[in-house]
Amino acid sequence: MKLVNFDGYLVPRYIRYGGDAGPKHAIYYNDEVWMIKYPKNTREYRKPQILYTTSPLSEYIGSKVYEILGMPVHETLLGFRNGKIVAACRDFTYNFVPLDNPDGEANVSVLKKTFQLIHFHDIKNDFMASDLDEYSGTGSETLLNEVLDTINGDISLQSIPKVLERFWDMFVVDAFIGNNDRNNGNWGVLVDEETKEESLAPVYDNGSSFFKNSSLATMQKDMTDETVLFDKAITGYSCRHKYAGSDNDGHQIHPFKFIHDGENADCNAAVHRFLERVDMAKIEAMITEIPEACGVLSVMPQIQKDFYIKVMHIRLDYLRKCAEKNK
């Protein structure tokens, strides 16, 4: 695998991206719009293990896992720009549109914003307004009951197939890749700018996967202790979604405990779909082909590859046991 050199490509200043995971901007690459995601500097962290997060590498690997599983996901490349390892994600809201051509010339098209991305946050925000006495009234809140009520109750989502299935598929896959930041602002719906038809957006924003803040020394040490490694892979992992009610008191959900308990039939079904799709040989091959370094830049040393693969095997074995228990 050869990393892509993204230096020198033009930056369209009228396209801006939000989020706090790290700096990002658009470029024109291969006559398309791509979002460049840089690693975040960790100087604001209390006890940083590393100078920069490995979030671009996490974005690339997490997105490739989704791709190997056969799920719609944004196209992602790994490369370098401005002296840093970066992930490049094709902006799926821009596409080439054929131009009306009265002169009869063939294959004339222009790059145009063809889709509006509506984050689930905004859909939930609208839905919460329908009953302010019942709900928190905010699109940011990730209480599981509110999220599911929105998916099952929002009128605009009723015309889009398999929204609930997508949510639970992401819940399971994110557990497998350790994505602890699947919030209401990083999944959603595409609206065709011309027809106004709505569809699910590809899965995007996977940069909080795979221990993006961990050092190689920590990974190497953890691999020598099976108990610590299991805790890192299973019991120590939580997601952004939270329980409601007095018993759980709004605490964050530990996905593998939730999956193990098997109390949600839709989640159980998503686990079975995942196990039917997963191909560890392809996932390991994808990780293996990532270079350890690119010039003076460290990309993915062997310790990191070994650690990620070990963790995924632990999680896969656990999911298989959960599926057997809850069938």
Q: pLDDT band for position 248 (50/70/90)?
A: low
CA distances from 190 to 113, 155, 200, 214, 320 (A): 12, 15, 6, 34, 34
Q: Which whole number is the average pLDDT over 193-209?
A: 95
Report whether CATH 1.10.1070.20 matches the domain 4-325.
yes
Question: Does residue 47 register a pLDDT over 80?
Answer: no
Q: pLDDT band for position 297 (50/70/90)?
A: very high
Q: Which whole number is the average pLDDT over 136-143?
A: 86
Q: Which whole number is the average pLDDT over 230-246?
A: 87
Sole residue written with tokens 């896959």 = 173
Closest to 242 in 3D by CA, of 257, 232, 252, 234: 252
Give the sign of the dihedral formed by CA 300, CA 48, CA 37, CA 181: positive
Question: Domain limits of the chain?
Answer: 4-325
Q: Among 107-111, 136-140, 277-281, whose mean pLDDT is lowest?
A: 107-111
Closest to 231 in 3D by CA, of 206, 259, 256, 207: 256
Sole residue written with tokens 């639970």 = 168
Question: Does residue 147 register a pLDDT over 90?
Answer: yes
- Give 203's strand partners: 73
Q: pLDDT band for position 23 (50/70/90)?
A: confident
Decide: pTM greater than 0.95.
no
Q: Which pLDDT belongs to residue 289?
A: 98
Question: Does residue 58 register a pLDDT over 80?
Answer: yes
Closest to 195 in 3D by CA, of 285, 298, 114, 86: 114
Question: Does residue 49 register a pLDDT over 90?
Answer: no
Q: Which whole number is the average pLDDT over 22-41?
A: 91
Query: Can you tell me the distance from the alpha carbon of 312 to that of 278, in angstroms, rounded to the nearest whole number?
Result: 11
Closest to 73 in 3D by CA, of 177, 156, 192, 146: 177
Query: Can you tell me the distance from the alpha carbon of 325 to that of 161, in angstroms, rounded to the nearest whole number?
Result: 29
Q: pLDDT band for position 45 (50/70/90)?
A: low
> Is the model more confident about 244 or about 266?
266
Q: Which pLDDT belongs to residue 133?
A: 81
Q: pLDDT band for position 177 (50/70/90)?
A: very high
Query: Can you tell me the distance from the alpha carbon of 67 to that of 277, in angstroms, rounded to the nearest whole number?
Result: 11
How far the first Cα of the chain sits from its last, in Å, is 40
Structure tokens at 133: 């006495």
Q: Which pLDDT belongs to residue 104?
A: 57
Q: pLDDT band for position 193 (50/70/90)?
A: very high
Q: Which whole number is the average pLDDT over 89-96?
A: 94
Q: Which pLDDT belongs to residue 93?
A: 97
How does the average pLDDT of the chain come out, rounded? 91
> Is the model more confident about 40 or about 199?
199
Question: Does residue 105 register a pLDDT over 90?
Answer: no
Given a contact cutoff of 8 angstroms between Cβ atoms, the answer to whether 201 and 191 are in contact is no
Query: Can you tell me the distance from the alpha carbon of 156 to that of 127, in angstroms, rounded to the nearest whole number?
Result: 10
How much of the chain, in percent, has pLDDT values that exceed 70? 92
Q: Which whole number is the average pLDDT over 46-60?
A: 75
Question: Does residue 139 register a pLDDT over 70?
Answer: yes
Structure tokens at 14: 């009228």
